Amino acid sequence: MNAVDPPLGDTDYAALARFRHTIRQFHAFSEARAAEVGLTPQQHQALLAIRAVEPDQATVGYVAERLILKPNSATGLVDRLEALGLLVRKVAENDRRCAVLRLTAKAYDILAALSAVHRDEIRRLRPLLAGVLDQLGDGMDDAGVKNP
């Protein structure tokens, strides 16, 4: 809290509780959708992280960083995804000591289906989150003008 922020009031606590509940709803939704296609939530998150980055940046270290894992845990996760036929390791062109991760066609298909339903759920939750974020906001509108 900075010097200009007033102390938290009852409405702030209620907004924070609604925010955490909405995030938890999304998390539960995501876990269930991943399980429906035979993935753990962590496997789904790893595939999404790999898909979202430039191909030469998708490494075990990158997965560890994005999923907040220790390197040995990320290695195990990548090993399991490889065993499931969802990714392959390729020797990096710029550093033969490093392996880059590539999703397989099977992974792309699974991820496309999962991502479509996740996007729909985020769109459904957007008004709820926007309301909470507005309530917790800094009193400024999108243009940086102080709200009354």
Q: Alpha-carbon distance 122 to 29, whole Å?
A: 10
In this structure, the chain runs to a length of 148
Domains along the sequence of the chain with CATH? 10-135 (1.10.10.10)
pLDDT in tens for each of the 148 residues of the chain?
A: 555 778 889 999 999 999 999 999 999 999 999 999 999 999 999 999 999 999 889 999 999 999 999 999 999 999 999 999 999 999 888 777 889 999 999 999 999 999 999 999 999 999 999 999 998 885 445 554 444 4
